[in-house]
Amino acid sequence: MAGARDGSDGPTRRDYLQYAGALGVGALLAGCTGEGDTPATESDATDTATPSETATATPEAESYSVSIEPVGEVTFDSVPETWVANNGSWADMGIALGLEPPKAVWLTNRYHTQYYDAIPDLSVDTSDMVSLYQDGVSKELFYELNADVHVMDPNFLQNRFKGWAESDVAEVEDRIGPLFGNCIYAQHYPWHEDYRYYSLYEGFEKLSRVFDRHDRYEAFESIHDDFQSNLAPVVPGSADRPDVAVLWGVGDEPEEFYPYIVGEGTGFKHLRDLGVRDALASTDIKDFHGSRAAIDLETLLEVDPPVLLLRGYESKSESEFRDSVVSFLEEHPTASDLTAVQNGDVYRAGGLYQGPITNMVLTERTAEQLYDFEGELFDRERVVEVVNGEL
């Protein structure tokens, strides 16, 4: 049960789902205080486990503990039933584990569940899902959601916008349920410099232990291994890989773009696995994550990348994207001079928030676009089996 909403002394949830260990957020650096992780134009190898991480419930000791930086060790008296996720990366991990969708994510329009359309017999109902960010983030909403666990980095809550302090995070943990997470989709936040990041599958493994579904994680790890083996012959040698520019288009008729340098983090995993060469990395153009600055079409024409991968359009189908954004670029007096536009090599870049399922969907889609690949790189039927617990 939830504690008193006014924050006064009263019953807490520690008897059900207790948080153990230091939160580890005392020495925070000042972070970005923007309202979202990306421009507002979108309608959008595993660690060796420690004994505390591998402990499972037994009749003698029903509690178990899992640790993740920067939170530390979290002790669960029973397996959580309801949850909140920071973004689509963690939400997709939960779907892969066969969980009900999270009750909330940071922004629901950036959890692109249409990716599941690529997998027959797999669908995700998000009709009741709410956005945590609604012109700020309210503790009252956390009380209303009353989740057993909040899968998010506590530092994200305190640094992505103004309004939350360490005491607010502590109140949520004491009176509602613990936080458990790490900001893994990109590696650019100054407040994340003092503790480690996790790869997609490292984070996935941690979450599987929280929900006591490590067997499904292992099954997905096997699917991913097969996927990587199938992908390897599709990716050409380095000399034959394209130079691509990853940009966030401003609006459906973009004349300005926010540039992204391909880096670490789950949001770039599909591009790293495809071995693309970054056309912007060797230029003077600064990454949006650090500069928050846009470039215009004239600047982009100076670089003239042979392939454009545009973010911010995942809510559009391929045909909708081509009929709006690509058509505008083809008819624009400057954009039409771009090599990528002239050759028809302008594509959607994929979302920032990728989990084990959506990453394979996006990687396969991008392989088709860049390398003229036709076919399937992963076993759809096996994915559905694992989601359903048929191991």
Domain ranges of the chain: 51-228, 236-383
Q: Provide φ and ψ at 66, rounded to 5°.
A: -135, 145
Enter the DSSP assignment of 265.
S
- What pLDDT sits at residue 162? 79
Q: Do 51-228 and 236-383 share a fold?
A: yes
- What pLDDT sits at residue 24? 36
pLDDT digits (tens, 9 = 90+) for 214-251: 999 999 999 999 999 999 999 999 999 999 999 999 99
Distance (Å, whole) CA 142 – CA 148: 11
Cβ contact 240:229 at 8 Å: no
So what's the architecture of 236-383 in CATH? 3-Layer(aba) Sandwich (3.40)
Cβ neighbourhood burial of 134 (10 Å; 0-12, 13-18, 19+): exposed
Distance (Å, whole) CA 357 – CA 336: 36
- What pLDDT sits at residue 7? 37
Provide the strand spans (E) within 126-171: 130-131, 149-151
Long-range contacts of 232-235 (CB under 8 A, 24+ apart): 234/367, 234/371, 234/373, 234/377, 235/273, 235/274, 235/275, 235/367, 235/371
- What pLDDT sits at residue 192? 94
pLDDT per residue, tens digit, the chain (391 aa), is 332 323 333 434 434 344 333 333 332 222 333 333 445 433 333 333 333 344 444 445 589 999 999 999 999 999 999 999 999 999 999 999 999 999 999 999 999 999 999 999 999 999 999 999 998 999 999 999 999 999 999 999 999 877 799 999 999 999 999 999 999 998 888 899 999 999 999 999 999 999 999 999 999 999 999 999 999 999 999 999 999 999 999 999 999 999 999 989 999 999 999 999 999 999 999 888 767 789 999 999 999 999 999 999 999 999 999 999 999 999 999 999 999 999 999 999 999 999 999 999 999 999 999 999 999 999 999 999 999 999 9
pLDDT digits (tens, 9 = 90+) for 86-134: 999 999 999 999 999 999 999 999 999 999 999 999 999 999 999 999 9
Cβ contact 149:93 at 8 Å: no
pTM of the predicted structure, to 2 decimals: 0.84
- What pLDDT sits at residue 39? 59
Distance (Å, whole) CA 257 – CA 310: 9
Cβ neighbourhood burial of 184 (10 Å; 0-12, 13-18, 19+): buried
Round the average pLDDT of the chain to a whole number and report it: 87
Domain 51-228 classification at class level: alpha beta
Q: Provide φ and ψ at 107, rounded to 5°.
A: -135, 120
- What pLDDT sits at residue 290? 67
